Chains A and B, each alone.
Chain A
Amino acid sequence: MLVGLLFALQQWIEMRMWYPRAQMSILVVCGAWMLQYFVWGVLCWSLWFWFGPQLRKLNWKYLVFRLLPLSILMSFCVEVALVTFFPQFPRSEKRIPYFERLNFEFTSEFLENLAVFWSVFLVFRMLGYYEDARQKERALSQLSVELAHAQMQALRMQINPHFLFNTMNGISSLMHSNVDAADQMLEQLSSMLRITLERGPAQLIALREEIEFIEMYLALQNRRFSGRIHQRISIEPQLHDALVPTMILQPLVENAFVHGFSKMTGEGTLEIQAMRRNRRLRIIVRNNGAGLHNTNEQGRVTSGTGLNNIRNRLQLLFDQEQSLTIRESAPNVVQVEVSFPLKYSDMPEKILFEYGSA
């Protein structure tokens, strides 16, 4: 309709310029053009509606044997409609019989009509191609998201059983020597399991929750190392709600025990710090255990499952935006630093609590 209106305006202005004396109301011109394109619009739309899917992926045979005759038929229909409803065209002093007019219009506008049909067809084809491409792209990105998700899930799963079986082995051993300690360790393990189950498959959680889990893990380890490891956790208060990958700290802390503290006999200190640097979150885990040199000789730091696991998950979650470094910040002090963009959860999860006055 709109296209028809534009054409009509054009023709009207043309006429006023070239035939100043021509008597024809703008309404009739507009009506005629609009009718022509309205019919085109309806025809094309219904064509699209009924045969859209075929139109999008047709071959040349279909093109020649079906669409070509169809285009001719449609041009004819449009002209019939035009001639029937607007007997004023073509402009002439005397009245022309219906079929002559039809003949005249059809021959004069046949090519034009065909052009309209085929350009509409081309637009449809292009739209079809565009949509196909978009859909493929979407499916592809969806697939890669799912793949990454599955990979992360697998990586997360790698950590839990490892830790679970190690701890159960510890409990099993304690049962023979110290029943009370085994009892307490079992309680702690259940608490950790409960928390892990509650969290479900979320990839990112609040730092507060991750630290809570680490505190439980440290309490458990503390029992094994009979209190000779001191811990210092310092979290900048505004970071409690910052988002971190689930179970990112536990493997780092576990490494500190396995590669650091278990190789020495004296007292040790484990430090965990979280700080904000510009728009990044920096987490540091430091231990003054055996140092990097000793562990490197066994080639375990660089090939450890825990570190690789974290590296892979960081890569999947933050791509190039993340870093994980491990170095000796002082003699025998191993410092692991993880850094990634700082983000907060949109809706901090409601923590269950209530007050009572009795």
Chain B
Amino acid sequence: MMHTVIADDEALAREKLKVLLNGEPDIAIVGESTTGPDTIELVRETHPELLFLDIRMPGMDGFDIFEALSKDVESVLPKIIFTTAYDTYAIRAFEINAVDYLLKPFSAERLHAAVERVRHHQRGMGEASASAVKDDGGGAHFIQRIVFKSRGKILFLPVSDLRCIAAEENYVRLVTESESYLLRETMSRMELKLDPDQFLRVHRSFMVNIAFVKEIRTEKHGELVVFLDNGAKVPMSRSYKSRLNELLSH
């Protein structure tokens, strides 16, 4: 069971979270609070694993609460999902490693995705500490997630969700399972930031996530094409082929 605290000064906002979280079988709400000091006290008492935190609350804002809680040495900080009507705090929330940032009003679907992300984090805890020992130094420089605004939403996108990345002039297009987003960035900078064991340049304008590569095929005119698990095709240059083969054989 994931013990959860809801902090929001608006009764209807808390009610919404309670109703929607009812549908998540592994979540148990252990308390609700409406002010900053109450929230801090409640978290110290109940040691929840997950905290839904409104940013603008009477007395203290969400970041003050986070700061106060992070000073408690002996207890583990809960995972935080911010819920707010303002998108201006997204970067700050991202920097303090919040799991997600829900812009009000959010749908049940969006909330579910956020909770799913918390579960993923929980599961990854053990593995993460093991792998951190393995590649301490090298791996830490590569980005693990990206925060950006797209279509009126704030996204904390883990790079492991990316299927491929395509260059489009001054932008790169990030392609996930069902969506694609434009980011003002260059392909070469992207290539430097991403772990080369995870992402591979297959073409001047394309990179693919190796985890999603299904096969490489030669089309009828002799062009190489990388097939991804969702059926997407990505063109490939011959010069990049050997590197991919080498990686796939592992």
Contacts and interface: CB of A to CB of B under 8 A. Distances in A.
Given A187-B110, A355-B193, A358-B144, A192 B152 contact: yes
Most buried by A among B95, B106, B110, B141: B106
Interface stretch (B66-74, B164-172, B207-215): B164-172
Chain B interface main SS type:
mixed
Interface in B123-164: 140-153
A63 B47 CA distance: 93
Interface stretch (B38-46, B48-56, B86-94): B86-94
Interface in A299-331: none
A346 interface: no
A240 to B, nearest CB: 6
A190 B152 contact: yes
Given A186-B107, A191-B151, A192-B152, A356 B95 contact: yes
Contact of B146 (A184, A186, A193, A353): A353
Interface string B98-118: 000001111111100000000
A237 B169 contact: yes
B59 to A, nearest CB: 27
Contact of A184 (B107, B147, B183): B107
A3 interface: no
Nearest to A182: B107
Interface string A323-350: 0000000000000000000000000101
A348 B184 contact: yes
A215 B145 contact: no
Interface residues of A, number: 30
B198 interface: no
B140 to A, nearest CB: 6
A235 to B, nearest CB: 8
B29 interface: no
A180 B152 contact: no
B169 A238 contact: yes
A356 B140 CA distance: 10
A322 B150 CA distance: 30
Interface in A201-249: 208, 212, 215-216, 219, 237-238, 240-241
Nearest to B171: A240
A356 B94 contact: yes
Contacts, number: 94
Contacts of A351: 148-149, 183-184
Interface in B6-24: none
Contacts of B97: 356, 358
Nearest to B152: A191
B151 A355 contact: no
B144 A352 contact: no
B28 interface: no
B182 interface: yes
A353 B106 CA distance: 21
A186 B105 CA distance: 8
A212 B151 CA distance: 6
Interface string A175-194: 00000100110110011111
A195 B152 CA distance: 6
Nearest to A190: B105
B146 A355 contact: yes
Given A240-B170, A356-B95, A183 B108 contact: yes
B45 to A, nearest CB: 28
Nearest to A350: B184
Interface string A152-193: 000000000000000000000000000010011011001111
Contacts of B184: 348, 350-351, 353
A215 B95 CA distance: 29
B169 A240 contact: yes
A215 B110 contact: no
9 closest pairs, A vs B, by CB? A191-B152, A353-B148, A237-B168, A237-B169, A187-B107, A355-B143, A194-B152, A184-B107, A195-B152
Interface of A: 180, 183-184, 186-187, 190-195, 208, 212, 215-216, 219, 237-238, 240-241, 348, 350-358
Given A351-B184, A353-B149, 7 more contacts: A183-B109, A190-B104, A212-B150, A352-B90, A354-B146, A356-B147, A357-B141
